[in-house]
Structure 1
Amino acid sequence: MEDVENADDTLRDLDHIRVPPAVDENTLTKTADINEFFDKAYDRISEKNARTQRVRDCKVCRRRKVNKYGFVSDVSTLRRHLGAHHEDVAARKLEAEKANKVQTSLDNHVQKAIPKEHAAPYSDDLFKSAAIEWLVETDQPIGAFEHPKFINMINVAARAKNGVTIPSRWTTCREIINLFHQYL
């Protein structure tokens, strides 16, 4: 039995099939403006020399009921016609080109980040200094450091990965009242 595969492991009888490359429909071609304002090209016999010409009809001229709206299907001729007879079309094209040249901005999309407080890395000396400052500023007795509830509070705070959130006065007051009602 003869080999039915090619060197690139495709079947030999499928060699004649050519797959066209995928075209992105969102991408505009270089003649997108022409395709927008002119119909598809067709053959017409020339009035001057009885030869067949490839022409395209101007959609704008036909809508405005202008006598001659068929033009030779040459891109430069069609663009010249648009520029000379349809200022509104030329103005729209210039506006589109200006809009493409304007650099976009992220101002409407960017949100300001809330700055996080930078916590100093822990050290025994820093903790001792902060604890003594707290003791002096709040007129606490020196024995407050040895109180089991203070030690428990420090141990709970030490397990926090992203720092500790200190409750406000209002929250603290509400919690104390809730504890009072709970133990009544």
Structure 2
Amino acid sequence: MPAIPERNPIGDTFAGLVLEVEGKTILALQPLTGAMVLYSGSFVIRYGVRYLGKPHLSLVPGILALDYGEMLTGEEAWNFLLNKSNLYPRADVVGYRNDGADEMLAVKWLDLALPLVPLVYADTKATKPLAQPVALIATDTTGIAPRILEHLPRYVSLADWLADQ
């Protein structure tokens, strides 16, 4: 039997700021007037898959254990989970919840129809997120990972985001 691989959750690097505005957390590339800086520097953005029936909880996959014993990690696990997991609803997903708790859950208990939850981590070793941003404020997308842009609404200004609330 092959050894169980180490967890390897996917993540994208983001250099900028984690800000709080009106009780919500956003990401930005530079300080914004009217926003409180919570963290600044280089971060890892990971993506949680929401629980079926409990959308306030999400799981950041680290290992996917298929029914027949194969173990997937990293991009391979991520692509399988998003595109083929309906073939293996009993497959187990091992990872960390959005509150940092260690978790193992069958794929069938994850709601892949809901939007993914972007989560900000201090580094690649962190298991508990610093924040759960709801938007990205950036006039230019150069240097921002495509997956961040896909899963986090982007606005060119704080005023645009506030107008949309």
Q: TM-score normalised to the size of structure 1?
A: 0.20
Larger helix share, 1 or 2: 1
Which of the pair has the greater relative contact order for Cα pairs under 8 Å at 6+ separation? 2
Q: Please report the TM-score for the alignment, with normalisation by the length of structure 2.
A: 0.22
